[in-house]
Every structure is written in structure tokens, then in C-alpha cells.
Structure 1
Amino acid sequence: MEWCQVRTNPERRQALLDAAIEVLAKDGARGLTFRAVDKEAGVPAGTASNYFANRDDLLTQAGSRFYERLAPSAATMAQLADGPKNRAHIAKLMRDIVERIEAYRTGYLALLELRLEATRRPELRAVLTDRVRADVEFNVRNHLDAGLPGDEKTVLLLYLAMNWLIVDRLTLPGVFTEEQSRELIEAAVDRVVTG
């Protein structure tokens, strides 16, 4: 059994998880070691091992941290609830999501690495499945509660379309220009959103 003295400094833990995300984005899952995280965080060697029981724990918590950092702000949630109930507003919200994720490029790239790693690690797969499912349900619930046009399938189709557009924008940015991306978002909303 591996021994780990659990540390409770939440700011240090967050800094280590942010460093883990950076390492995942730069070096992939194979490059994620406690030593690499310590170096990226600029902390003494051995610090990460005081905060995480093992590498699986670090991978799992890094996935959760991505979602913490990408959570919509109160202003975004207010805009969702109080904004116009039409396609143009939904398209704006979709553009905002894409822009927010592009602004946190390393986080999304780290999430892609975690998803690949989850194909080999059942515990990580279970955690990510639960987290992604909760995110999807959150988006569906907020869309419906806000009274926006469309139904659950509308949100799911937009989720799928936006995710692949984001993958292309972050991994192969030469495939679609920013203008093409905006046009594709508009077209997706126009074709998917009814009502």
C-alpha cells in the first residue's frame, strides 16, 4: 500500500492540478509524473506526492479541475436565463462557449489526453463519464429552464457539433478560419434549433 501524507492547502492543490493540466497538454498522459508536475508548478520535488495518493488520483483530479476552471460565470448564467429566447441568442451562447474553451486551450487539450487515457483506466473512465454526463445534463437543464427554443435533442446535437469544432480549432487550427467557425456555428444553430 502506497503511503501518502495528505495535504489540505487548497490553493497549493489547485496550483498542482493546474500544473498537471499544463503537463498533460504539453507532454501527454505518459509525461504526467509527480516530478513533472512539481517542476511545472515551481515547487520543491516531492510536493505533488504529498497531495495525491498516486498517478491515477492525479489524473482524476486534473479532470475535475478542468471543469472547475471552465464553469460558466454568474454573468454568463444570467445572460442565459435573461437573454432573448431566439436562435440568434443561442448562436451567441455557442460562440461564447467556443471562445471560452479556446481561451483555455491547454485545459481542453489536457481533457482530450485524459479521455484517451480513460480508454485504458476504468476508474478514470468512470469519473470522466460521470463528469461529462453531469455537464451534458447541466446544459440541457439550463437550456430548458431558460425557455430557449428547442428540446433536449437540440442541446445534445449542438454539444456534439461544438465539441468537434473545438477539437479542430485547437488541434488543427488551419482547417477552419475564425470566420468559417462563426458561420458553422450559425448554420448549426439554424439547422438544429426549432421553434
Structure 2
Amino acid sequence: MDALRARIRAEGRNLGNGILKVDSIINHQLDPTLMLQIGESLAVYFRHLAVDRILTAEISGIVPAMMTGLALDVPVVYARKTKPITMAGPVFLETAPSHTKGIDVNLLVSAEFLPPDQNVLIIDDFLASGRTLQALARMVRSAESRVIGVGVVIEKSFEGGRELMRQAGYDIPIHALATISSMAAGQIIFADED
């Protein structure tokens, strides 16, 4: 997606250790027009699948997932990191490492919003190590539903998350709107530039 790549080039910052700061684009400040384009682009890619609902992780995955859900006209469910008192009844709980926080975080979804026999599309801001996406996918399997695809705004392919998803048995379409192949020496190199 050209508009996204242009914004990453102009505003993205390589903080070292594989951390890409895109706070002015998707992680703190949001450009509604760009977010709408992101959702529409992901929806076009996955439109041929019979998506029943979208699952994402709190916080930065919510807006891309919401825009994709709007374009596909399906509900969006997000995994919370803490359990509110309003979340009664059974929950699906997984843990995943937070790349930016440096700790493991809980991901919780009420079973009420992840029913069985659903076709679930996972949407998130990043695909890096793939561990958050795997945690979300395990929730879907625990709910006796199916992960039918994964869409991300940015993939850091040098971290191998796509391959780890495949090795974990997820032979599904995985689509990234921008793929970064290297962040060595303080640079941000897109996959088609290396």
C-alpha cells in the first residue's frame, strides 16, 4: 500500500533492537483517512473468504480491525489485556510477549464474543515474531472456531513471524500492507528494496 509506505518512510523511526516507532501513524496518533484506506485494502484482500468476525489485540490493532470490519460488515472483537469486572463468565486466556513493553501480557476474550463454528479473520498492527497472532489463533481454536486468515498493517519479515505461524500449523492466507525486510544500521528497508 503506497500511502502507508510513504508515511512509514516520512514518519517512521528505527529505534534499534527491531523496534519501529510509528506513533504518528498507528500507535498513538491516528490518521482516519489512512486508517480507512488500510481497512478497505485488507477487506479487498480477504473479501473472498466467508468472514464471520474479526479478532484483534488491544490497543493498536483495534482501529485497523474496526476499519476492516466496517468494510466487510462483520463484528470486531478485541482481546483485552486486563479483565474488567464486567467480563463475567468463561473467558479465553492466552499470554504473549509485548515487543515494545518487554514483558508477557495477558490476552482475554469473553467466550460470549468468540462462539464456536465461526470463520475468524485476525487483524493486527504488526506481524513481528508472530507470538501475539499465535496467541489469538489459539483462542480461536479453543473456541472451536477457525482462523481463516491474518492481515497486518506492517510486517517485519526479518523476525520470522510468518514462518512461525506456518510451523505452528496455520496454513492460511497472511497479508501485510507493508513489509519491512531489514532495520539494520538504523535503516528501514522495505521487502522490494533489498
Shorter chain as denominator, the TM-score bin is under 0.3
Higher strand share: 2
Please state which structure has a larger fraction of its residues in helix: 1
Q: TM-score, normalised by structure 2?
A: 0.24
Higher-RCO chain (CA-CA 8 Å, sequence separation at least 6): 1
Which has the larger Rg? 1
TM-score, normalised to structure 1, is: 0.24
